[in-house]
Amino acid sequence: MNIVVFGGAGFLGSHVCDKLSEVGHSVTIFDIRESPYKRDNQEMIVGDILDAESIRLAIKGKDIVFNFAGIADIEEAKTKPLDTVRYNVLANVMILDECRLANVSRFVYASTVYVYSKVGGFYRASKQASELYIENYLEQYNLDYTILRYGSLYGPRSDEKNGIYRFIKQALTEGEIHYYGTENALREYIHVEDAARLSVEILKPKYKNQHIVITGTEMLKVSQLFQMLREITNKDFNIFYETSNDHPHYEMVPYSYMPKVGMKLVNPYHVDLGQGLIQVVETVDHEHSNK
Ligand SMILES: NC(=O)c1ccc[n+]([C@@H]2O[C@H](COP(=O)([O-])OP(=O)(O)OC[C@H]3O[C@@H](n4cnc5c(N)ncnc54)[C@H](O)[C@@H]3O)[C@@H](O)[C@H]2O)c1
């Protein structure tokens, strides 16, 4: 199928583009920056998701449209409420509208497990608004969708915006980790390549018009994660658990009351957390030693 991935140069989007190409789809990456991960058999369009003409041209002739573009960082969204509406809500509706005009057969959206939680601020608000617009495009215009609610991702191509990358960088370069939350906070980390594989799996007809939760398979206390990092790095770094109203984080589950419950999709096989962490440790170590 012909597929365009908005935000396809990013952390998650680039892995999804890889997996789409690997199973034989024709992939066009649309992003504000050139993708360093673009493959020879992929097309690249450099453009802004707020530019109606560019998105119209990118969507023309496509069967499936993925939207991974916009502000992906909760912290950034916290200080940029207007940009968060522009890039995460308005641009998403502009893309939806072009999808219905072009008779696209499915729109796939990157939401978050935070979507109906009490934390996540403007970021969460933008994801909730976008989910509602997507659901209404089905009702009003019969535009089919799949909403993917991702949990805590980690793995290759991540940067400072990513939790695990930051922890490892702090541990290796500063000898300590500052974590906003308690040591008992539970997380289900998922390797980005596993998440990307599932993001392609959902193109099957049975996932049409569904909300799909993509998180890890095992619950882990953050204190256990830090212990794993100590063993992997062979460094006895200090950990400071801090609480701050500026960094509210969930303890056990990110959800509160949820009007639209998502189905959790899991890989029958997946990257082992320890192995995945080693990949990120190697990357951070390499970047640091090249400075
Ligand atoms: N990474 C996670 O842990 C996670 C978890 C839940 C949901 N998500 C969602 O998944 C999506 C992708 O996240 P990510 O971690 O890959 O983030 P990312 O920042 O790496 O990717 C976003 C991409 O969008 C592009 N972009 C930004 N503004 C643009 C514009 N105006 N026009 C065109 N392109 C633009 C960026 O250049 C970037 O390549 C986001 O919607 C995010 O909210 C991510």
User: Tell me, what's the pLDDT at 141?
Assistant: 98
Ligand 1 atom showing the smallest separation from residue 48 Cα: 32
Domain boundaries, the chain: 2-289
Q: Whose CA is nearest to atom 11 of ligand 1?
A: 68
CATH class of the region 2-289 = alpha beta
**Under 8 Å between Cβ of 152 and 188:** yes
- Which ligand 1 atom minimizes the distance to the CA of 109? 41
Torsion of CA 3, 115, 72, 225, to 10 degrees: -110
Of 192, 204, 202, the closest CA to residue 270 belongs to 192
Q: Residue 266 carries which side chain, given as an amino acid letter?
A: V
What is the number of the ligand 1 atom nearest to the C-alpha of 9?
39
Tokens coding 265 = 């999709």
Q: How far is the CA of 12 from the centre of ligand 1 (A)?
A: 7
Helices (H), 41-120: 52-59, 74-79, 81-84, 91-101
40 C-alpha vs ligand 1 centroid, how far in Å?
Answer: 22
> Which pair of tokens denotes residue 189?
């980390």
Six-digit token string for 250:
């969930």
For the CA of 159, the closest atom of ligand 1 is 20
User: What string of pLDDT tens digits covers the 291 residues of the chain?
Assistant: 999 999 999 999 999 999 999 999 999 999 999 999 999 999 999 999 999 999 999 999 999 999 999 999 999 999 999 999 999 999 999 999 999 999 999 999 999 998 988 778 999 999 999 999 999 999 999 999 999 999 999 999 999 999 999 999 999 999 999 998 888 888 889 999 999 999 999 999 999 999 999 998 878 899 999 999 999 998 888 999 987 666 556 666 666 656 677 889 988 888 989 899 999 999 998 987 776
Rg (CA), the chain: 19
How many other C-beta atoms lie within 10 A of the C-beta of residue 253? 11
Looking at the DSSP assignment, which residues form a beta bridge with residue 239?
A: 177
User: CA 228 to CA 239: how far, in whole Å?
Assistant: 13
Contact status, residue 88 vs residue 121, Cβ threshold 8 Å:
no
What is the 6 CA–ligand 1 centroid distance (Å)? Answer: 9
What pLDDT score was predicted for residue 260?
Answer: 75
9 CA to centre of ligand 1 in angstroms = 9
What pLDDT, on a 0 to 100 scale, did the predictor assign at position 268?
81
Q: Is 24 exposed, middle or buried (0-12, 13-18, 19+ CB in 10 A)?
A: exposed
What is the pLDDT, as a whole number, of residue 209? 98
Taking CB atoms and a 6 Å cutoff, what residues make up the pocket around ligand 1?
7, 9-13, 31-33, 48-50, 68-70, 72, 87, 110, 112, 150, 152-153
